[in-house]
Structure 1
Amino acid sequence: MLLQTRIILFVLATVTVVAGLLLGFSALREDAADRRAKELELARLDTSWQLAVSGAAGRIDQNLGRLAGDAEIARAVEAEDRGALNRRVSALGIVPASGTVPATGGGLTDVNLLSESGDLLFSTDPALDPAPLLNRGALDGILSGQKLARGVRLVDGERLVVVAGAPIYAGTGTGGGAGSGAGVAGAVVAGVEFKAALDVLRRTTGARVFAVARNGAAIDGETDPLWPAVRVLVRPAERRIATFAEGGRRYALASLPVADLAGGRVATVLIAGDVTQAEEEQALWSAAYVAAAALVLLGALGLLYGFLRRNFSTLDGAVKALQDLSHGRAMGYLELPAGNDEIGRIAGAVEVFRGVMREIERTAGQRERRLRRQQRFIRRQMEALAVTLEEEARQNLLEELRQIEAETHDAHSAQSKGVGDELGLLALGFSRLATRVSTQQVQLTQMVRDLREALADKRRLISLQQELEIARTMQLTILPQVFPDLPELDIAARMIPAKEVGGDFYDFFPISEHKVALVIADVSGKGIPAAFFMLITRTMLRAIAESGVGPAETMRRVNNLLAAENEQMMFVTVFYGELDLRTGVLAFSNGGHNPPLRMTADGTVAPLERTPGIALAAMPDMPFGERSVTLETGDMAFLFTDGVTEAFNGEEVMYGDGRLVDAVARQREAGARNGLDGVLADVARFTAGAPQSDDITCLVLRWRGASPAPVAAGNPAEAAVA
């Protein structure tokens, strides 16, 4: 492909990409402008709706002022005299017909009169226990005399009205109105039909207005011919503008959720405006923009093609002259114009190239003799270097030298093969020899370096293994190994870490004269990080538990302390219980741990009840629940971590909760130590030597029954644990 063709294609691709980007950015800008225009239109229509609600509420004000300013109504409200209110309202013509919605002068549909305390004294609602038109929050604002309430209310759960309210001042009509500093005696609230606000909105916007309830049922506008097309676009909970076509026209449908004075959504107002002309104008401008961009692109490409075609005709002549020189036709090139431009410089280069070719021909003989001497020198150097190689490598290299010499001697003439080719073959053999020697040296150096690093790694590994063994011994030493011989309790525990150190732990310690604490926990992860987190958790748990705040509060405090400085995002599941040695009551709280198993004296095994709570250190300020269970004589409690139930055998089958329940049930007559050994032996038989995937920790206690005599002074349980 010619250079000028490549340039034209490159420029065409570049301009096309730029044009595409411009069109894309223009489309994005138009989308952003459209979204902004929709937001502004929604804000305008929302304002129109608020004005419509205010206009509908304005129809209430005249009758509202007449009711609030009536002296007899004010006295009756102040005295909370319902009979006097009924008589006075009847005298004013506000008497609801039995079983119908009342209609008052000025289009009022609902009237409420309320006392200063908010009690409903009079309502046009004929129900036995009518609900007030306003909730307590809106009434408080009116009764305090600070603001008037205006807005939409859902009455009886199905009827929408526009309501307005005003305070009734004590002594109204006798010189004690609001202007004289009289106190508020009550409030009057009145309402008109919701459709009154819709009519005002139609007049102010000139658009088609519809309304639907919360469930999407039509409230107003269903007789409009446009309603079938509007109905399929109704989204009661969304505030948006959607477009649709109907009857050859385009419409923009704005959805405005209507909020109740109490704050909830009660309806949606839909406003459909004709946007056919605006969309046609927008499409025309878009087409004009694309056409203008295409014309500019085509014009630029045409100018570029003419410019390149005129200038590359001269360059084509220079290329032909160079091709003649490359084929040895030193006198067959064209006469090229001289000058300082690119073409003139190419002509000067061609002349220099012809002179160089003549000089090469004159010095060819001298160069041949020099290359012969270099050839012999290279052979001697290669033979000397080959002696330093191993026997097999040396024989291979000498064989390659013999093949190179044979190829050189078979050359039929200097022109066909060339001395340079012979020297190149020898240079190739020398390069292979140097590569072999260098490779052998590098291999020896690398072997020595690897040996030194291996010895250093071995020393570090031995040191690390010693440190891990010390850490394992220290961790096992920290956990209780010998438990007190209490008359009420038989207890045993064991932890088998999956690595040198583990993240599981158990504990048993006194917290008062008659109570002991038992803990089992599992830290996320394994190894040294889990072991450190385990020690921190165990220390905090002991410190807080000994304050006697109870299991749930202890878990809450430990969780907050761990979560406050948990940059590594570790967590620990904990079961913590407090056993009363006098009664056998075990109060406990579970933070995301496996629930312990309880085996009664008759051999029934069931897990303890779960309590609310998540793993410690996961989130601060989390609540933890607390439960209690009374142990009967002979009951066994088996506490364990998930390393027991999630042990796998060689076929990747999990031990599971069912096998654990069966294994515990078989320990009905065993003591704590024998029961623990029996369950662990069953787990070992199941895994059959498969690698241990997680730490295994168990704590078993057998309740012997409360001691008939009180615990002796000095707390023997505490002394034995210590």
Structure 2
Amino acid sequence: MLLQTRIILLVLATVAVVAGLLLGFAGLREDAAEQRARDLELARLGTSWQLAVAEAAGRIDQSLGRLVGDPEIARGLEADDRNALDRRMAALPPSGGTGNAITDLNLLSDGGDLLYSSDPALNPAPLLNRATLDTILSGQRLARGVRMVDGERLIVVAGAPIYAGAGAGGATNGSGAVGAAVAGMDFSAALDVLRRTTGARIFAVARNGAPLDGTTDPLWPAVRPLVRPADRAMETFSSAGRHYALASLPVADLAGGRVATVLIATDVTQAVEERTLWSIAYVAAVGLVLLTALGLLYGYLRRNFAVLDSAVGALQELARGRAMGYVELPGGNDEIGRIAGAVDVFRGVMREIERTAGQRERRLRRQQRFIRRQMEALAVTLEEEARQSLLDELSQIEAETHDSQSSQSKGVGDELGLLALGFSRLATRVSTQQVQLTQMVRDLRDALADKRRLISLQQELEIARTMQLTILPQVFPDLAELDIAARMIPAKEVGGDFYDFFPISETKVAFVIADVSGKGIPAAFFMLITRTMLRAIAESGVGPAETMRRVNNLLAAENEQMMFVTVFYGELDLTTGELAFSNGGHNPPLRMTGTGTVAELQRVPGMALAAMPDMPYAEKSLILETGDMVVLFTDGVTEAFNDSDVMYGDARLVQAVGRLTAATARDGLDGVLSDVARFTAGAPQSDDITCLVLRWRGTAAALAAPAEAEAAV
């Protein structure tokens, strides 16, 4: 087989393999994209289902509101008086309306006894188990979700605590919960909400596969064979010329078991048709490009190999000694052009040989001298040691050549052999030096590229540092009752510490200081997430402990990097000076009274946020006196080290705060940070340093009294 045939077949095979790989990779990428899209759609539909259940439970909460605030029901639960509860419930008008009808109602005592039930059975079972009821009675959370009753019926359940001395609107006189009201609404209410919010076709089956809802839908016969009650999955099917995506969402009981499966069928006909058209267009485009490339390559190879065949024929003629039979070939810098040039040289050599041996000898002599001069010129470009060694070898070669000429014992070929040996050594040295220079240039180029990337990264980190410091409050409101100042000094370009100060009502303000585990960009991102969640939940007014609990659960739910954050969060009532606070594993703040006494705030048990979900958080409170200063700080302050590797420590911080008896919040902040800076004395900062200082001036009424007295005088 000719070389040109082998090359063409090899190129064809290579192109075919590349085309197959391109189509295969495209298919894999499309499959991966479809899987990601299915996962995102499942997550979206799961969220829609949770929102549907929450909306149905919200309707139940509206009906429970009048029961929670009814004093007669509260007294009946407190006394465990079933007859009184029956009379009161009979006197109340029926709850709910269209779409809001409550099908089940329980009134339970704080001991877990069922004192009233809308179920007429002799011994009805309560809607909630004791563990769920305890969480309602303790006020930790409201029970909301799906519940199976009577072993076969599904309802949406919601419950709320009833307090002793409940008044209008559910207000209490401070007593504990005396019982709970639990109500249920038919499961179909949540399905109707899901239909309305998603616009999809909804079906539901029990845990054994029995249909619960949607059987009248014309699509049910096509959906029924695809039902897998235990799986959370997304699959596609076709019916009546339309394409659908079917999502299976298992429904969990409040007790934790699976009780049903919700099926959501979405019409994706348009998306499927568009994807099919794009796939066909992609395959056609790839095929067209490959065929065009193959055609051009085949034509190019055929044209060039035709010229190569002519060159081979000319070489064969030269090998037979027929120099005059040479055919003119096109020149150029490619292989064909170089072969043509070589053929021309061969023809010239043969003509010179045929013309005269003397001319050949003179030409060889001239070549010899030229080689010598080129070797000497090239030797100048070498390093000193290599250049001197090469010049010594040239002198030796010239001496041997002179001896051979005088003795006539060696011919011109021997002389050229000596020169060739010297040229070979020169070429080796030049090649070695060229390789070294090339490597040095490559290393220098890589070093310059690394430097440019480093400069770019430093610029981006500086921008991130400026943005992070801009996010934190820099200017605080001018309050008559309160003076506040804060500052964060990151150890790296960006840090994991943060502080915040914001109002949560007309009379209350919230403040927080936190320290994320680790440093750098990951900690900065985690800091921004924590700050955003904390603000969003705190502004709902649920109190410090509940705010910490909710933020902890949100952070722990998606904490794949296993990061955590210590947080001290407090709420200050500007009308009374009452400071309510909760602590999640953070350093307790320091309080300095007007007399100059410095002490830690009362320690509150609580773990760092995002470490574990569903952790309890306690809450404490105290009344600030006029002139009190509260100093919040992160461990970057107390764990700062000087050049002697000595830690700043809590004792030095207490002493520094004790010297700020009459200072404003800004002066107090500057005093603490200046004391830390003097202690470290230029040692490298090992951790982020953050400090927040509050100075309580007194309530508005207390501040107004002296002013009024002075005006009266």
- TM-score interval, smaller chain: 0.3 to 0.5
Higher Rg: 1
- TM-score, structure 2 length as denominator? 0.46
- TM-score, structure 1 length as denominator? 0.46
